[in-house]
C-alpha cells in the first residue's frame, strides 16, 4: 500500500472535453460494398510529430522564452480542420479545473489540497502563446484552460505534413505536483509537461483532455531541443546531449571547452519518444553507470543531501543496472541508449528515457520508486497506451512487473509477492466504491478508488491471466505484447488478443468482465459427500478452477476444471475433468477415493473476493 499512497495518490480531472472530429476523407457517399472494402478504416495508424525547440531560461524569475517548430504528419485517413495543444502549466493557477477538483473531491491528494488556490501571480504556472503560424500563415488560436484550440488556415489532408511555428513565453510554477520549481527537496527546476504539446488524434478522435492533475498521452516523434540556462545548472532528462564537451558537468568525453558567457546552451536529440522532460539544479551530483550490453544510466541528486542519503543514491546505482537487466529479460530489450534517474523532489513519475523521483527516502523507498518508474519505460513509454482511458494498462502492469523485480533483486524471497495487490483489489471490490476500469482516470469519485483500480486491479489483471492461461503462456504474452506493440498506442484488446494467440484460448470474457464491469469472482466448496464434491459459483465473473483434493489415505491430487467458454485448457499437470459451463450455479465431480478435504485455487492466483468458502 505504501507505494500507492506515497507515489501515486493523485488527482482528478472533471470535465474532459475530448473533441471528436469526424471529418472524413471521403467527400461523396459510396455504396456499402465499397466502404467495406476500404481496409484503411480498420488498419492501425498513428500521427507523427517532429519538434524543434529553442528555450531560454531565466533562473531568477523562473520564466522562459520558447520558439517551437513542429512538423506534424497526418497519417490518419481523416481531413483535419483543427488541432489542439496541451498547455499543462496553466493548471497551476487559482480557479483552474485542477484547483477546483482538488478543492471538491472528498479525498484530495494532500500534496495538492488547496495549494493551487493560494498561488501568487509570481508563483503560478503559465504558457502564453504569442504567435502561431501554419506553413507561414498566421492561424487563429485560443487558450481555454490547459488547452490551446487552433483553427487551421488550411485543412490537413491524409498523408500530408504541415509546419507549425510558435513563439511562447512561460512561467514555472512553484511545485505542486510533478512539475515546478523549488520543491520541498530544494530541486530548482523539475520540467515535466512544460512545453506546448500537441494533443493526440487517433482512431477515437482527438484527446485534448484538460489537465486536472492526472495522466498523459502524447504523439510519437523526434525532438531536437536546445536549452539555454545559467552555466552553473546541471541538466538531466530525455534525449542525448549533442555538445558534451561544451557543457562538461559530468557529460564530457574529452577536454571541456566552454564558450564565454553566463549561460550555456545544451543541445539534446531524442528520437522516437512521445515526451521531452528535464530537470536542472546547480547542486546536482551527476553519476553514470553502464549497463552491460545496455544503456548508460545517469543519476542526478542533490549535493546538499546528508551523507546517508547520498550513500543511498550510490547503492541505488548497481541495483538500477539489475532492474534494467530484469525488465529487458522479462519484457523486452530497452530500446534506447540512455536512462536517467533524477531527483525531482516530488513523488515519482515516468517520462521519456528518464524518471523524476523523490530523493530523500530510505534506500528501500528509493529503490522501490525507481523500480516502479523504470518499469514504466516499457509500460507507457514504449507501449504508449492512453493513460487517461486505460490507466490499468500502464500502472497495473508496471506495478506487477516491478513487484516481481523487487522481490528478485532485493532477495526478499517472498513466497507470493502478488498477495498485497490481490488484497488491495478485494478491499476495493468489497468497499462499495468500485467503478469499472473503463472509467476515465479523472472521473473516479475518489482518488483512492482510482489508485486501487489502476494499480491493483490492473496488477491482478496480469497476475490472474497467469492463472487463466498458465504461467508460461502469460510470460510469453508479455514479451509478445511488447514486441508487437512497441512504439505504438496499444489498447486493451491488443493485450487480450495477444494472450489468445499465445494460448489458443478464447479470452474476450476475461477482458470484458474484468475491465468493463465490477463483476466479482467468488467460487465456493458447497459440500463433500463421501467421494463426491459439489462446488458453487456465487460471483458473476466466470473462471476456470484449480482445485486440490486431500484423500482420507493422506494422498493428494490436483484437478483442473476448464471453463467451457474458453474452448480449451491451459497447460497443466493436474487431472483435467469435465468443463463447467458458466450459467450452471453448481458443479459436482467424484474423485476415485474418499475425501478428507478440498481447496479451490490453493496458490491463491484467482481474485476470489471470499476465500473463506474455498476450503472444506
Ligand atoms: Zn506508475
Instruction: Give the 3-state DSSP-derived string for 275-329, with helices as H, strands as E and coil as C.
Output: CCCEEEECCEEEEEEECCCCCEEEEEEECCCCHHHHHHHHHHHHHHHHHHHHHHH
- Give dist(CA 393, CA 405) in Å, integer: 18
Q: Of 34-38, 157-161, 435-439, which range is least confident?
A: 34-38
Going from the Cα of 379 to the center of ligand 1, the distance in angstroms, rounded, reads 9
Q: What is the DSSP string of 434-448?
A: ---TTS-GGG-SSHH
Distance from the alpha carbon of residue 336 to the mean position of ligand 1, in angstroms: 20
In a 13 Å sphere around the CA of 113, the CA atoms on its Cβ side amount to: 4
Q: What is the mean pLDDT of residues 609-614?
A: 97
Tell me which residue of 147, 161, 167, 262 sits closest to 208, measured CA to CA.
Answer: 147
Question: 388: CA distance to ligand 1 center in Å?
Answer: 13
Mean per-residue pLDDT, 408-434:
93
CA of 100 to the centre of ligand 1 (A): 24
CA 166 to ligand 1 center in whole angstroms: 32
Measure 395 CA to ligand 1 centroid, in angstroms. 5
Task: Find the 496 Cα to ligand 1 centroid distance in Å.
Answer: 21
Q: How far is it, in rounded angstroms, from Cα 303 to Cα 305?
A: 5
Q: Cα of 295 to ligand 1 centre, how many Å?
A: 21
The DSSP letter of residue 117 is G
Distance, CA 398 to ligand 1 centroid (Å)? 6
**Is the pLDDT assigned to residue 29 strictly greater than 50?**
no
Residue 42: the pLDDT is 58
Phi, psi of 277 (to 5 degrees): -125, 150
Give dist(CA 168, CA 146) in Å, integer.
14
- Cα-to-centroid distance, 276 and ligand 1 (Å): 17
pLDDT digits (tens, 9 = 90+) for 231-263: 999 999 999 999 999 999 999 999 999 999 999
User: CB atoms < 10 A from the CB of 262, how many?
Assistant: 8
Region of poorest pLDDT, from 20-24, 46-50, 405-409, 445-449: 20-24
Q: Mind giving me the DSSP string for 52-96?
A: EEEEEEETTTTEEEEEEEEEEE--SSS-EEEEEEE-GGGGSSTTS
Distance 286 CA to ligand 1 centre (A): 24
What's the 296 CA to ligand 1 centre distance in angstroms? Answer: 22
Ligand 1 centroid distance, CA of 95 (Å): 27
Bridge partners of 340, per DSSP, are 298, 354
Q: Rounded to whole angstroms, what are the CA distances from 261 to 53, 93, 231, 232, 250?
A: 21, 34, 8, 11, 20
- What is the Å distance from ligand 1's center to 241 Cα? 27
Distance 434 CA to ligand 1 centre (A): 20
CA 603 / ligand 1 centre spacing (Å):
27
Considering Cα of 323, then 334, then 242, then 200, what sign does the dihedral take?
negative
By DSSP bridging, strand 137-138 and strand 126-134 are: antiparallel
Distance 482 CA to ligand 1 centre (A): 17
CA–centroid distance, residue 373 to ligand 1 (Å): 6
On the CB side of 18, CA atoms within 13 Å amount to 17
Contact of 518 with 452, CB cutoff 8 Å? no
Higher-scoring residue by pLDDT: 19, 441: 441
Q: How far is the CA of 31 from the centre of ligand 1 (A)?
A: 47
Residue 304 CA to ligand 1 center (angstroms) comes to 27
State the chain's maximal CA–CA distance in angstroms: 91
| Cα distance between residue 125 and residue 93, in whole Å | 6
Look at residue 215 in the predicted model and tell me its pLDDT.
78
- pLDDT range class, residue 73, cuts 50, 70, 90: very high
**471, 453 in Cβ contact below 8 A?**
no
pLDDT over 60 (residue 37): no
CA of 8 from ligand 1 middle (Å) equals 7
What sign does the dihedral 236-242-248-252 (CA atoms) show?
Answer: positive
Other beta carbons within 10 angstroms of residue 61's beta carbon come to: 10
- Is the pLDDT at 22 greater than 80, yes or no? no
Buried b (16+ CB within 10 A) or exposed e, 123-142: bbbbbebeebebeeeebebe
Task: Determine how many CB atoms are found less than 10 A away from the CB of residue 277.
Answer: 29
Q: How far is ligand 1, taken at its centre, from the CA of residue 352, in Å?
A: 13
Residue 475 CA to ligand 1 center (angstroms) comes to 21
DSSP state of 175: P
User: For 323-338, how does the pLDDT look when each residue is reduced to its tens digit (9 = 90+)?
Assistant: 999 999 999 999 999 9
Query: What's the gap in Å between 70 CA and the centre of ligand 1?
Result: 29
3-state secondary structure of 54: strand
Q: According to the model, what pLDDT value does residue 412 have?
A: 82
Q: What is the pLDDT of residue 43?
A: 86
Q: How far apart are CA 441 and CA 430, in angstroms?
A: 21
Mean pLDDT of all residues belonging to the chain: 93
Cα 330 to ligand 1 centre (Å): 18
Give the residues across from 357 on adjacent strands.
343, 348
Instruction: Read off the pLDDT of residues 182-223 as tens digits, 9 standing for 90 and up.
Output: 999 999 999 999 999 999 999 999 999 999 988 789 999 999
How far apart CA 170 and CA 194 sit, in angstroms, is: 9
pLDDT at residue 1, rounded to an integer = 33
Alpha helix ranges (H) inside 211-252: 244-247
Query: Quick one: CA torsion of 569, 390, 273, 207, rounded to 10 degrees?
Result: 140
Kindly state the cell numbers that stand for 188. Answer: 530548482
Distance 372 CA to ligand 1 centre (A): 6
Q: Determine the distance separating the centroid of ligand 1 and the alpha carbon of 133, expressed in angstroms.
A: 36
Taking the centre of ligand 1 as the mean of its atom positions, its distance from the CA of residue 459, in whole angstroms, is 11
Q: How far apart are the CA of 371 and the centre of ligand 1, in A? A: 10
Which of 354, 206, 341, 346 has the alpha carbon at shortest distance from 286?
341
Q: How far, in Å, is the centroid of ligand 1 from the Cα of 385?
A: 13
Q: Please give the share of the chain, as a percent, with pLDDT higher than 70.
A: 93
Nearest to 103 by CA among 5, 211, 14, 216: 14
Distance (Å, rounded) from C-alpha 135 to C-alpha 478?
43
Q: What backbone phi and psi angles, to 5 degrees, belong to 420?
A: -60, -40
What pLDDT is recorded for position 411?
85
Q: Render pLDDT for 97-132 as a digit per residue (tens, 0 to 9).
A: 999 999 999 999 999 999 999 999 999 999 999 999
| Bridge partner residues of 134 (DSSP) | 137, 164
CA of 339 to the centre of ligand 1 (A): 17
User: How far, in Å, from the CA of 38 to the mean position of ligand 1?
Assistant: 39
Interval between CA 185 and ligand 1 midpoint (Å): 21
Q: Tell me, what's the pLDDT at 415?
A: 82
Measured in Å, residue 615 CA sits from the centre of ligand 1 at 36
Neighbours of 605 (CB within 10 A): 19
Grid cell in block for residue 313: 543514491
How far is the centre of ligand 1, averaged over its atoms, from the C-alpha of 525 (Å)? 38
Q: Which pLDDT does position 318 carry in this prediction? A: 98
CB 109 within 8 A of CB 10: yes
How far apart are the CA of 348 and the centre of ligand 1, in A? 8
Cα–ligand 1 centroid distance for 418 (angstroms): 17
Predicted local distance difference test score (pLDDT) of residue 417: 87
Q: How sure is the predictor about 33, in pLDDT bands with cuts at 50, 70 and 90? A: very low
How far, in Å, from the CA of 456 to the mean position of ligand 1?
A: 11
Q: Residues 255, 260, 261, 265: is their CA dihedral positive or negative?
A: negative
Q: Could you tell me the distance, in angstroms and rounded to a whole number, from the CA of residue 45 to the centre of ligand 1?
A: 26
d(CA 3, ligand 1 centre) in Å: 10
Grid cell digits, residue 118: 493560494
**Ligand 1 mean position, distance from CA 121 (Å):** 32
Query: What percentage of the chain carries pLDDT values higher than 90?
Result: 90
pLDDT value, residue 548: 98
pLDDT at 538: 98
82: CA distance to ligand 1 center in Å?
Answer: 32
Amino acid at each position: 500500500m505504501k507505494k500507492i499512497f506515497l507515489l501515486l495518490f493523485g488527482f482528478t480531472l472533471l470535465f474532459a472535453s475530448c473533441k471528436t472530429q469526424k471529418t472524413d476523407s471521403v467527400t461523396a457517399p459510396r455504396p456499402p460494398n465499397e466502404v467495406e472494402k476500404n481496409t484503411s478504416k480498420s488498419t492501425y495508424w498513428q500521427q507523427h510529430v517532429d519538434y524543434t525547440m529553442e528555450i531560454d531560461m531565466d533562473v531568477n524569475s523562473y520564466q522562459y522564452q520558447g520558439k517551437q517548430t513542429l512538423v506534424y504528419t497526418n497519417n490518419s485517413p481523416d481531413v483535419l480542420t483543427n488541432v489542439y495543444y496541451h498547455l499543462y502549466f496553466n493548471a497551476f493557477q487559482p480557479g483552474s479545473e485542477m484547483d477546483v477538483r482538488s478543492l471538491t473531491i472528498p479525498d484530495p491528494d494532500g500534496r495538492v489540497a488547496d495549494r493551487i488556490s493560494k498561488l501568487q501571480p509570481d508563483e503560478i504556472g503559465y504558457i502564453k502563446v504569442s504567435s502561431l503560424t501554419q506553413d507561414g500563415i498566421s492561424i487563429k488560436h485560443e487558450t481555454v484552460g490547459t488547452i490551446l484550440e487552433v483553427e487551421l488556415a488550411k485543412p490537413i489532408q491524409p498523408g500530408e505534413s504541415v509546419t507549425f511555428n510558435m513563439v511562447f513565453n512561460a512561467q514555472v510554477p512553484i511545485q505542486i505536483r510533478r512539475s515546478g520549481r523549488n520543491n520541498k527537496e530544494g530541486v530548482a527546476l523539475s520540467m515535466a509537461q512544460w512545453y506546448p504539446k500537441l494533443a493526440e488524434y487517433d482512431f477515437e478522435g482527438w484527446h485534448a483532455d484538460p489537465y486536472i492533475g492526472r495522466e498523459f498521452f502524447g504523439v510519437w516523434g523526434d525532438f531536437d531541443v536546445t536549452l539555454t540556462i545559467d552555466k552553473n545548472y546541471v541538466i538531466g532528462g530525455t534525449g542525448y546531449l549533442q555538445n558534451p564537451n561544451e557543457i562538461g558537468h559530468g557529460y564530457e568525453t574529452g577536454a571541456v571547452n566552454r564558450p564565454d558567457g553566463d549561460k550555456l546552451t545544451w543541445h539534446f536529440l531524442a528520437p522516437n519518444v512521445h515526451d521531452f522532460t528535464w530537470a536542472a539544479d546547480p547542486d546536482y551530483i551527476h553519476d553514470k553507470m553502464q549497463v552491460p550490453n545496455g544503456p548508460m544510466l545517469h543519476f542526478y541528486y542533490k549535493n546538499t543531501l546528508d551523507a546517508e542519503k547520498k550513500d543511498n543514491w550510490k547503492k541505488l546505482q548497481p541495483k538500477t543496472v539489475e532492474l534494467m537487466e530484469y525488465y529487458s529479460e522479462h519484457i523486452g530489450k530497452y530500446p534506447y541508449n540512455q536512462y536517467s534517474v533524477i531527483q525531482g523532489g516530488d513523488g515519482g513519475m515516468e517520462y521519456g528515457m528518464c524518471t523524476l523521483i523523490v530523493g530523500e527516502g530510505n534506500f528501500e523507498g528509493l529503490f522501490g520508486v525507481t523500480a516502479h518508474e523504470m518499469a514504466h519505460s516499457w509500460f507507457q513509454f514504449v507501449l504508449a497506451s492512453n493513460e487517461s482511458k486505460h490507466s490499468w494498462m500502464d500502472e497495473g502492469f508496471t506495478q506487477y512487473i516491478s513487484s516481481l523485480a523487487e522481490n528478485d533483486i532485493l532477495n526478499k524471497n517472498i513466497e507470493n509477492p502478488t498477495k498485497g495487490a490481490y488484497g488491495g483489489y478485494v478491499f476495493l471490490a468489497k468497499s462499495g466504491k468500485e467503478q469499472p476500469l473503463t472509467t476515465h482516470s479523472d472521473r473516479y469519485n475518489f482518488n483512492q478508488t482510482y489508485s486501487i483500480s489502476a494499480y491493483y486491479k490492473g496488477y491482478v489483471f496480469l497476475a490472474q491471466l497467469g492463472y487463466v492461461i498458465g504461467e508460461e503462456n502469460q510470460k510469453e504474452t508479455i514479451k509478445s505484447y511488447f514486441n508487437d506493440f512497441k512504439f505504438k498506442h496499444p489498447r486493451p484488446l491488443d493485450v487480450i488478443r495477444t494472450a489468445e494467440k499465445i494460448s489458443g484460448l478464447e479470452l474476450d470474457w476475461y477482458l470484458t468482465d474484468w475491465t468493463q464491469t465490477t463483476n466479482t469472482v467468488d467460487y465456493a466448496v458447497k459440500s463433500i459427500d463421501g467421494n463426491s464434491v459439489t462446488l458453487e459459483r456465487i460471483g458473476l465473473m466466470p473462471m476456470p478452477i484449480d482445485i486440490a483434493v486431500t484423500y482420507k489415505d493422506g494422498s493428494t491430487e490436483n484437478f483442473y476444471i476448464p471453463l467451457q467458454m474458453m474452448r480449451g485448457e491451459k497447460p497443466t499437470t493436474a487431472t483435467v475433468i469435465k468443463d463447467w459451463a458458466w450459467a450452471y450455479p453448481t458443479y459436482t465431480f467424484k474423485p476415485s477415493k474418499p475425501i478428507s478435504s478440498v481447496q479451490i485455487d490453493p496458490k491463491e492466483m484467482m481474485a476470489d473476493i471470499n476465500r473463506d468458502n474455498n476450503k472444506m
